[in-house]
Amino acid sequence: MSDRLPDAEELVRVLAEQMQGAIAHEARLVGIHSGGAWIAERLAGMLDGDHPVGSIDVSFYRDDYSRVGLKPTVKRTSLPFEIDGARLVLVDDVLYTGRSVRAALNELFDYGRPASVELAVLIDRGGRELPIEPTYCATRLAIVESGTFVLQRADDGTLTLAVEDAPARSER
């Protein structure tokens, strides 16, 4: 990986271009807190069609919950539309092991049975532990296992990327 990170705003535009014309006109966007929720909100305004936005916090559905506990800030899941029979696009900022996506799917199915679920991510960093792949991906970036990509949102809504030290593998 180069020392220079891609521009997060440009990655959102790339993701929107990939999705434009490919997703159902009535697809609902479900962002995984927090970065995926920010991206879903942005995509809804960039894509043709009517794309209601919901958000999901997978904290209680993670398979490592009993080992590492809750994140310090648990967000509320908000799905202001029917899940049964809906075409959904699950949105996340970074795809790594696939465990957050698995947790999100488990939670979504507690609300109903969607007609389909696609996955859109800003960054695929590899390192999958589960057979989960994105339908739409703005970029693929490698990073050392001891690092993690973090999407940040400024007060004016501008998105930026940073790299931080990741918790030890046993703490994730």
The secondary element (H helix, E strand) that includes residue 35 is helix 35-46
Q: Tell me what pLDDT residue 43 has.
A: 98
> What's the whole-model pTM score?
0.91
CATH fold for domain 8-171: Rossmann fold (3.40.50)
Query: Half-sphere exposure of residue 48, counting CA atoms within 13 Å on the CB side?
Result: 8
Q: Delimit the domains of the chain by residue range.
A: 8-171
pLDDT tens digits, one per residue of 15-62 = 999 999 999 999 999 999 999 999 999 999 999 999 999 999 998 787
Q: Is the pLDDT assigned to residue 14 strictly greater than 90? A: yes
User: Residue 71: pLDDT band by 50, 70, 90 thresholds?
Assistant: low
